[in-house]
Amino acid sequence: MPLINVHMQYITLLFKKHKKHLPARLQGTWFGEFCRYGFMIFLSAWIFQGVHITNWREVTIRYSIDAIITASLILLGVHWALAFFIAHSINFTLNGQLFAMYTHMGATGVSASKFLKNTIELSKKIEKHKFIRASIAYGSLSRGCYKKTSDIDIRLIPAKGGWWRTALYAVWLRTWAFFVHYPLDMYCYDPEVVVKKMRTDELPIMVNEREKCMLKWYPERVEFEDFIKIFTKQNL
């Protein structure tokens, strides 16, 4: 597909309505329907960048990145408002899961084979670092369901004393995902928090797990090797 057509597709999607979970008070209202437009989803994601569901350590890192880039640009003579806009946009692009957002809108069309290849690569990257106890994927992927609007919801579980390193490594993984065009939605939580925040009607996929550390919270699960088999059978 010519590059200009790809860009037009991304722009066009900003002016279409999309499925979006809304608070109960907005459902059925004109403003709620207005919020379903792509440009409103984009604007909301750019402004907030998921901080309302993010651990305070990740929020601190996100704001620090904004501050460092902004200060650096100001020192180079850029007006503070423009400097902040550029810094916040860079943070959103590389650390705000922009590609996953556009995937939800149906713009990216990642093939099933590429998705699986990147997921296996992600697992190998995480496995190298002992400061991460586990990484868990949620959603219909546990049944092998995949479509062009699918992303992967990964939650990293830090080891004791490994919270800051895990949060910093998550920034690197989101950046990697952007450059390889992998629809990654990733946050870091403690076990007690993740079981409360994530949906329970789908079995979790244990992408990585050290010494069955999540068995207490997830006795019923899909092991990563089984996920690969199910996904391959259903989609490849």
Domain that holds residue 19: 1-48
Domain shared by 116 and 38, yes or no: no
- C-alpha 104/C-alpha 96 separation (Å) is 14
* Per-residue pLDDT, 149: 82
* Per-residue pLDDT, 4: 58
Q: Tell me if 69 is assigned to some domain.
A: no
Number of domains in the chain: 2
Region of 79 (left: φ > 0; alpha: ψ -120 to 50; beta: rest) is beta
Q: Tell me if 89 is assigned to some domain.
A: no
pLDDT digits 0-9 by tens, 209-235: 999 999 999 999 999 999 999 999 999
* Per-residue pLDDT, 75: 98
Report, as an integer, the average pLDDT of 142-161: 91
Q: Which amino acid is at 94?
A: L
Backbone angles phi, psi at 34, to 5 degrees: -65, -35
* Per-residue pLDDT, 12: 85
* pLDDT above 80 (res 1): no
Q: Tell me if 103 is assigned to some domain.
A: no
* Per-residue pLDDT, 214: 96
How far is C-alpha 90 from the geometric centre of its chain's CA atoms? 16
Q: Which of 48, 69, 87 lies at the terminal end of a domain, its last residue?
A: 48
pTM more than 0.85: yes
Write out the H or E segment, with its range, that includes residue 193: helix 191-197
Q: Tell me if 39 is assigned to some domain.
A: yes
* pLDDT above 90 (res 161): yes
Q: Tell me if 101 is assigned to some domain.
A: no
